[in-house]
Structure 1
Amino acid sequence: MNITILDNATLANTSLACIEQLGNLTTYELTSPEQVIEHCQGADVLITNKAVLNRDTISQLKQLKLICVSATGTNNVDLDAAKEFGIAVTNVAGYSTPSVVQHTFSLVTNLLGNTHRYQADCQQGAWQKSEMFCRLDYSFNDLQGKTFAIIGGGTLGKGVAKVAEAFGAKVIIAERKGVKCRDGRTPFEEVLKTADIISVHCPLTDETRDLIALQELKMMKPSSIIINTARGGIINEADLAKALEQNLIAGAGVDVLTKEPAELTNPLANYTGNNLLLTPHIAWASTESIVRLINEVSLNITAFNNGESRNRLV
């Protein structure tokens, strides 16, 4: 069996031993749209994170039997075409939950503690020139007692809620915008008005695109912060930059953008204020998460070879 990985760079040079033992493995660090057909030739199994497999490509791959998406989202694969041409498709879910939860709180606690600003002071020699033993130039706020709102009550949202409660925060789960509030949820607009921290963990859909724009940001408390480790586009990026610049909210931590890698013209990538922490889509990518991901892909391939259905989407 010939197995090809189209974007091995996304696996951060992690050992592929569990996949290598399943067949003849070929790896490409990255695959551009112009290289897809060439790189896919001769493969029985394709592994892709972000490399796009559209209808035109899939229709030309007569030997292909299985596409393994080394991620949860599958928008880079034409599932209808795969079904039409009899090609199975699998994904991996849940592998990155500990990593995303941890990165969420890295952003939260750094913003609340202004850690990045104090670190910059130390690097630039400000502490060394201080007249007293510490510097108290920027606020340092407890997470305990804060109202911590979660948008998206799935596995990630539940994981974040558990940690927030351990810090002593009051956790509330936002109801979907514009729908009747269910038991255990808090109306969307009430969440915006009352939360000290809002953390986004919902998928990007037509319903959630620009879910939080300038109108919603203006409802938030000036002392509040917002975190997005979910998907770019859920928070309107230009509006968030404006809200930060005008101090409508106290801060934001963002790990995802509408277009990645960040475009030179992206308003958040260009923002220079110290109330934004921007990281390059790394929340999912702890070493342990990538190991779990590779192991899950290997188990998906093994299950397919054994005629079993495991994480099958098609």
Structure 2
Amino acid sequence: MGEWLIMINVFNNEPLEYSKYAISILEDIGNYYDTPTKEPIHAIITRLGELIDYNFLNRFPELKFILTATTGLNHIDEAECAKRQIQIVSLRGEVDFLSSIAATAEHTIALMLSLLRHIPASVTDVNNGNWDRMTHKGNELKNKTLCILGMGRLGVQVAHIASAFQMKIQCFDHKMVNEYSCSNDLKTALLGSDIISIHLPYDENTHGLITKEHILQMNPSGYVINTSRGQIINETDLVECLYEGFLAGVAVDVLETEYLLTESPLWQYSQQTNIHNVIITPHIGGCTYESMENTEIFIAQKFKQLVGHNQ
């Protein structure tokens, strides 16, 4: 990697409120740009705002690196990057570092509370000049059975927080977790659950994994929470379960078609008049000042080490 000791041009495709300290690290490596330039670009920084696909990559013929402070990579065409020998620098596999990041786990619990206590609908109602508490009568988390799908870093964090609410925890994972009894059979894990929370990695094995057949293993009038990736759930089945009343509500931070919002079956369902049992947030699970600062610095340091500029 010695050639990069001479000069490397880094373009930040999403510079809004990017960590100043991370920028200073990148400036130690070479030239940092946060506006379009005619200079050849060797590395691009991206968050989740744009799909990094064939057409995007064609704009940067000399690109060698993509820097993304995310664990999931479904916003990047990995196969196309491999063809072009573009290396992706991400948070994937950085278990020790990620154990200090709590943002997505906290957002998961926030979605549960918002859904079961009808918080968005009640706020809207008050803003419209109404004061009717009984319309928004909700449910407690206490004593609810929470099935966590995926007991990696996030799943375990959510389990710890949920335990503080005195929820009953059951889980699905192919490995055993000391504190919890996990089933490696999805249907078995879902049996008797009131709420499911999805924290599985997205890959070819989990694409479309959760279907109506699985949701029907839950207790009637259950809830689905997803802060992982939208493609893990069959959204059409999810909506069907809402229409049929088998699900009482859904709260997600991700969609099957995030870059084509209006094509999402769940979003379409949520746009109907008097539908208040769906909450959709725009992939903000990891979007806190603290987590973005820390992850952006980590990625900059990882990249600096990669190109031979050890601190």
TM score, norm. by length of structure 2: 0.79
Aligned counterparts of 1:262 and 1:81: Cα–Cα separation in 2? 22
Which residue is equivalent to 1:302?
304
Q: Does 1:122 align with 2:126?
A: yes
Separation in 1, partners of 2:40, 2:84: 20
- CA–CA distance in structure 2, aligned partners of residues 155 and 238 of structure 1: 29
Query: Is 1:275 aligned to residue 277 of structure 2?
Result: yes
TM-score, structure 1 length as denominator? 0.79
Query: Where in structure 2 are the equivalents of 1:227-246 lying within 5 Å?
Result: 227-246=225-244
Give the superposition deviation at 1:216.
1.9
| Maintained 8 Å contact 2:99/2:153 | no
Change (3 A) 1:228 1:97: farther
Q: Is the 8 A contact 2:13 2:44 kept in 1?
A: no
In 2: Cα distance, 1:4 partner to 1:164 partner: 41
The unaligned stretches of length 5 or more in structure 1 are 30-38
Q: How does 1:62-81 map to 2 (within 5 A)?
A: 62=62, 66-75=65-74, 76=76, 78=78
Give the counterpart of 1:165 among 132, 138, 163: 163
Give the superposed CA RMSD.
3.3
Pick one of 167, 181, 201 that aligns with 1:184: 181
Deviation of 1:96 (Å)? 8.6
1:301 shift after superposition: 2.5
Shift of 1:241: 1.3
Shift of 1:57: 4.8
Aligned to 1:284: 286
Give runs of aligned pairs for residues 198-237 of structure 1, distance below 5 A. 198-237=196-235
State whether structure 2 residue 127 is matched by structure 1 residue 110: no
SS at match of 1:149: strand
Distance 2:110 2:289 in 1: 16
CA distance in 1, matches of 2:38, 2:256: 28
Residue in 2 that maps onto 1:145? 143
> How far has the Cα of 1:230 moved from its partner?
0.3
Which residue type is aligned with residue 206 of structure 1? Answer: E
Aligned-partner residue type, residue 295 of structure 2: L
For the Cα contact (< 8 Å) 2:72–2:201, is it kept in 1?
no
Q: What is the match of residue 46 of structure 2?
A: 48
Q: CA deviation at 1:139?
A: 3.0
Aligned counterpart for 1:98 among listed residues 95, 99, 102 = 102
- Contact 1:7 1:51 (C-alpha < 8 Å) held by counterparts: no
Separation in structure 2 between the aligned mates of residue 139 and residue 190 of structure 1, nearest angstrom: 31
1:194 aligns with 2:163: no
Distance in 2 between the 1:246 and 1:267 partners? 15
Deviates more, 1:268-277 or 1:147-156: 268-277
SS in 2 for 1:202: coil
Q: For each residue in 1:236-295, what CA deviation from the matched residue of structure 2 results, as whole angstroms up to 9, or x when unmatched?
A: 111111211221111111111122234323211112321111111111211212111220
Task: Give the whole-Å Cα distance in 1 for the aligned partners of 2:55 and 2:222.
Answer: 45
Q: Give how far 1:140 is off.
A: 2.3
Structure 2 unaligned segments of length 5 or more: list them: 1-6, 93-97
Deviation of 1:25 (Å): 0.8
- The 10-residue stretch of structure 1 (141-150 or 260-269) with the greater mean CA deviation from structure 2: 260-269
The change in CA–CA distance for 1:257 and 1:56 in structure 2 (over 3 A counts) is closer
Q: Tell me, what secondary structure is at the counterpart of 1:297?
A: helix
Q: Which moved more, 1:158-167 or 1:255-264?
A: 255-264
- 2:18 is aligned with 1:14: yes
Picking from 244, 250, 253, the partner of 2:251 is: 253
Give the Cα separation in 2 of the matches to 1:96 and 1:277. Answer: 27
Paired amino acid for 1:114: H
Deviation at 1:227, TM superposition (A): 0.3
Cross-structure match for 1:4:
10
Structure 2 letter corresponding to 1:70: A
The aligned residue for residue 36 of structure 1 is none
Shift of 1:3: 3.2
